[in-house]
Amino acid sequence: MKRACVSESAATLPNVDQSCFHVPEQRLLRASEASPHQPKILMLYGSLRERSYSKLLTLEAARLLEAMGAEVKVFDPKDLPQPDGAPDSHAKVQELRTLAAWSEGMVWCSPERHGAMTGIMKSQIDWIPLSLGAVRPTQGKTLAVMEVCGGSQSFNAVNQMRILGRWMRMITIPNQSSVAKAFLEFDEAGRMKPSAYYDRLVDVMEELIKFTLLTRNVAPYLVDRYSERTENAQELSKRVNQKSI
């Protein structure tokens, strides 16, 4: 089969700005030098209960990530105001945004309440800006999603968080964790008991580290877009920072 000539093919695309049209290259998907530091993972959970199973699952996952060589930070949502209920300068908002900017990957874990993620989980995500100027703080970063259920296993919360991850332009890994009857899966000390749910948790964290190591050095290339190359920085900043509704 004859390979099409790129220049000839481009000539048949009159709507394309040739100066901004780039053919994806395999070589650019290989980092010239791997980052030597530990993968940086931010963990968010969606409950304020004293014995919060989403928090316990998050802490169990954090132990696994640290054992796999990651640097892990867990955000405590207590005292985080509702979106638009306080200025961006609020201390907890600034703490969350600083951690989001620091991270190379994230884990979101929510209880399922009334068939959805909790408002506490959603509020944290809503406080993370989709854009700051022409920069998108979460774009190209990896994401793992998990949920805990009070009854039978469900996937409503993780499915919602996947939609949010895509909206935040994150690389959401294929695997996920949903723990049914979570109150039976942790001992009095808050440690997760051996089970198929625990084994799945190990799988998810392992996959998150692999995807983070695979993509973190080439994330800028992965999210480089033709539509944005055709805009100058001022126009891009104006578009992505339209007044929120």
pLDDT digits (tens, 9 = 90+) for 156-189: 999 999 999 999 999 999 999 999 999 999 999 9
Distance CA(13)–CA(34), nearest Å, equals: 37
- Where do the DSSP E strands lie in the chain? 40-45, 71-74, 105-111, 142-148, 171-172, 177-179
Residue 4: its pLDDT value, please? 44
Task: Classify residue 115 by its DSSP letter.
Answer: T
Q: Is the pLDDT of residue 1 over 50?
A: no
Among 25, 37, 32, residue whose Cα is nearest residue 212:
37
Tokens of 197: 């749910």
90 Cβ neighbours under 8 A, 6+ residues apart = 81
Residue 2: its pLDDT value, please? 40
93-112 burial by CB neighbour count: b if 16+ within 10 A, else e? beebbebbeebbbbbbbbbb
Tokens of 12: 């048949």
3 state DSSP class of 150: coil
Residue 3: its pLDDT value, please? 43
Residue 135: its pLDDT value, please? 64
Residue 230: its pLDDT value, please? 86
Residue 199: its pLDDT value, please? 97
104 Cβ neighbours under 8 A, 6+ residues apart = 39, 40, 41, 141, 142, 212, 216
Residue 186: its pLDDT value, please? 96
Residue 198: its pLDDT value, please? 97
Give the rounded distance of the alpha carbon of 243 from its chain centre. Answer: 24
Among 67, 55, 210, residue whose Cα is nearest residue 144:
210
pLDDT digits (tens, 9 = 90+) for 193-241: 999 999 999 999 999 999 999 999 988 888 888 888 887 645 766 666 6
pLDDT digits (tens, 9 = 90+) for 72-94: 999 999 999 999 999 999 999 99
Residue 181: its pLDDT value, please? 95
Domains of the chain: 37-216 (3.40.50.360)
Distance between start and end Cα atoms, the chain: 52
Residue 32: its pLDDT value, please? 79
pLDDT digits (tens, 9 = 90+) for 101-154: 999 999 999 999 999 999 999 999 999 987 766 567 899 999 999 999 999 898
Q: Is the pLDDT of residue 67 over 90?
A: yes
Residue 133: its pLDDT value, please? 64
pLDDT digits (tens, 9 = 90+) for 19-63: 889 999 999 888 878 888 999 999 999 999 999 999 999 999 999
Distance CA(83)–CA(80), nearest Å, equals: 9
CA-to-CA separations, 44 to 73, 104, 107, in angstroms, rounded:
9, 14, 6
